[in-house]
C-alpha cells in the first residue's frame, strides 16, 4: 500500500502507462486543452454545474421562480429530444453490441476547488484509481447554506466509427470508511445535522458534436442533456434531542466489498466525437442551529476507489 501511494500520489498519468487506445483518447483531449493549466472550459462547465446544485438544494426550502421553472422545462425538453433521437437510431439495423472499458481517468478534480483541502491524497492507476477524503466540521449556529462538494474522476472516449454510436455508460465507486451526523441537545430548539453522499455519472459532449439545429450554437464543451445518473450512498440526519426526546445521532459504515453503481441514460454519440465521463462522489452537509459532521474516508487506510467506466456500444447505420 505504501509503495503504491508513493508511486501515484498527486502525479500525472504517464503516456507509457496507458494502453494504445487510452493514449490516443487522452492525447485527443489534451490537444483540446493545451496551454491551459486549469483545464479551461471544463472548470467553467463544472462551476456552472455546482451553481445549479446549490440552487437545487436551496429550492428544497422555497418555491422556484418563473425563470427557474422555465429553465427546468427547457432542460427537460432537451433531454427528451436527445432520447427520441437515440430511439430513432435504435429502430434501424445495428451492429452487434460491443463493450468498452475505460480503466484510467485522465484527470482528477475537486469542485469547488476551495474544498481541495478535504482530499489529502489521490492516485490515478489503471483499474484502480483512488482518493482519500476527510470532513470533520462543527457548527454552533444555523447555517442555511449547504456546502456541496464533488470529488471527480474524468474518463475520455472517442467514437472510432464514422456513424452514430449508441452507448450505455456505467461506473461504480467502492467506499471504505464511515460517516456520522450528530447534534447537541437543546431545551426546546430543534438541532438537526444533515449529511448526504451520492455517486454520480455525468456525460459531457467535448468535441466533434456539431451544432444545435434549433439555435445554431456549437454542442461542444456542453453537458449531454439528461445524461446524468445518480445513486444515493447515505442520507444521515443527526437529531440532537430536547426536553421531550433523547438525541438520535446517525452513523453509516461503508464496506470496501460493496459497490455503488451509477448508470447514465442511453446517449447518442456522433461518429468521431470525443465524449467525457465524470464519475463523482458528491457530499452535502448542513446544520439546523448546531451540530457535528464527520466523513472519514482517509484514516486507517480508508479510501474511495474507481476502477473504470463501462460502455455498452451499438453502432447505427450511416446518417
> Is pLDDT of 126 > 70?
yes
Which region among 32-41, 185-194, 245-254 has the lowest average model confidence (pLDDT)? 32-41
Query: What is the chain's mean pLDDT, rounded?
Result: 78
Cell of 93: 439495423
pLDDT at 87: 60
pLDDT at 239: 79
pLDDT at 191: 79
Q: pLDDT tens, 159-175?
A: 988 888 889 999 999 99
> Is pLDDT of 13 > 50?
no
Phi-psi region of 15 (alpha: psi -120 to 50; beta: other; left: phi over 0): alpha
Cβ count within 10 A of residue 311: 24
What is the mean predicted confidence (pLDDT) over 21-36? Answer: 52
- In percent, how much of the chain has pLDDT > 90? 38
pLDDT at 15: 33
Domain boundaries, the chain: 2-315
pLDDT at 315: 81
pLDDT at 18: 38
Distance CA 125, CA 295 (A): 24
Max mean pLDDT among 65-74, 94-103, 227-236 falls in 227-236
What is the pLDDT confidence band of residue 125, given thresholds at 50, 70 and 90?
Answer: very high
pLDDT at 225: 86
pLDDT at 246: 77
> Is pLDDT of 29 > 90?
no
Q: pLDDT tens, 264-315?
A: 988 889 889 999 999 999 999 988 878 899 999 999 999 999 999 999 998 8
pLDDT at 75: 60
pLDDT at 77: 62
> Is pLDDT of 72 > 60?
no
What is the pLDDT confidence band of residue 85, given thresholds at 50, 70 and 90?
Answer: low
> Is pLDDT of 37 > 70?
no
* Closest by CA position to 29, among listed 187, 268, 208: 208
Distance CA 163, CA 313 (A): 12
The residue that leads in pLDDT, 234 or 18, is: 234
pLDDT at 289: 79
Exposed (0-12), middle (13-18) or buried (19+): which is 249, by Cβ within 10 Å?
middle
Amino acid at each position: 500500500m505504501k509503495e503504491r501511494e508513493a508511486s501515484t500520489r498527486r502525479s500525472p498519468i504517464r503516456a507509457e502507462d496507458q494502453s494504445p487506445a487510452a493514449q490516443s483518447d487522452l492525447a485527443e483531449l489534451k490537444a483540446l486543452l493545451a496551454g491551459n493549466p486549469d483545464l479551461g472550459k471544463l472548470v467553467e462547465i463544472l462551476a456552472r454545474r455546482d451553481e445549479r446544485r446549490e440552487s437545487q438544494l436551496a429550492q428544497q426550502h422555497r418555491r422556484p421562480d418563473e425563470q427557474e421553472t422555465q429553465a427546468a422545462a427547457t432542460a427537460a425538453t432537451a433531454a427528451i429530444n436527445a432520447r427520441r433521437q437515440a430511439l430513432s437510431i435504435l429502430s434501424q439495423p445495428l451492429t452487434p453490441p460491443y463493450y468498452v472499458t475505460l480503466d484510467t481517468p485522465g484527470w482528477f478534480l475537486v469542485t469547488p476547488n476551495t474544498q481541495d483541502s478535504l482530499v489529502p491524497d489521490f492516485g490515478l492507476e489503471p483499474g484502480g484509481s483512488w482518493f482519500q477524503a476527510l470532513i470533520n466540521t462543527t457548527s454552533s449556529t444555523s447555517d442555511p447554506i449547504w456546502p456541496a462538494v464533488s470529488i471527480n474522476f474524468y474518463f475520455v472516449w472517442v467514437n472510432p466509427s464514422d456513424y452514430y454510436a449508441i452507448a450505455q455508460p456505467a461506473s461504480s465507486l467502492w467506499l471504505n470508511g464511515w460517516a456520522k451526523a450528530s447534534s447537541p441537545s437543546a431545551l426546546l430548539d430543534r438541532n438537526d445535522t444533515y449529511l448526504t453522499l451520492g455517486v454520480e455519472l455525468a456525460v459531457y459532449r467535448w468535441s466533434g458534436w456539431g451544432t444545435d439545429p434549433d439555435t445554431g450554437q456549437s454542442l461542444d464543451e456542453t453537458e449531454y442533456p439528461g445524461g446524468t445518473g445518480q445513486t444515493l450512498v447515505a442520507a444521515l440526519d443527526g437529531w440532537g434531542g430536547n426536553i421531550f426526546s433523547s438525541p438520535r445521532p446517525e452513523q453509516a459504515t461503508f464496506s470496501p466489498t460493496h459497490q455503488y453503481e451509477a448508470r447514465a441514460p442511453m446517449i447518442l454519440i456522433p461518429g468521431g466525437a470525443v465524449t467525457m465521463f465524470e464519475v463523482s462522489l458528491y457530499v452535502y452537509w448542513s446544520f439546523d442551529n448546531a451540530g457535528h459532521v464527520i466523513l472519514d474516508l482517509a484514516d486507517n487506510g480508508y479510501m474511495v476507489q474507481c476502477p473504470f467506466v463501462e460502455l455498452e456500444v451499438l453502432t447505427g447505420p450511416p446518417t
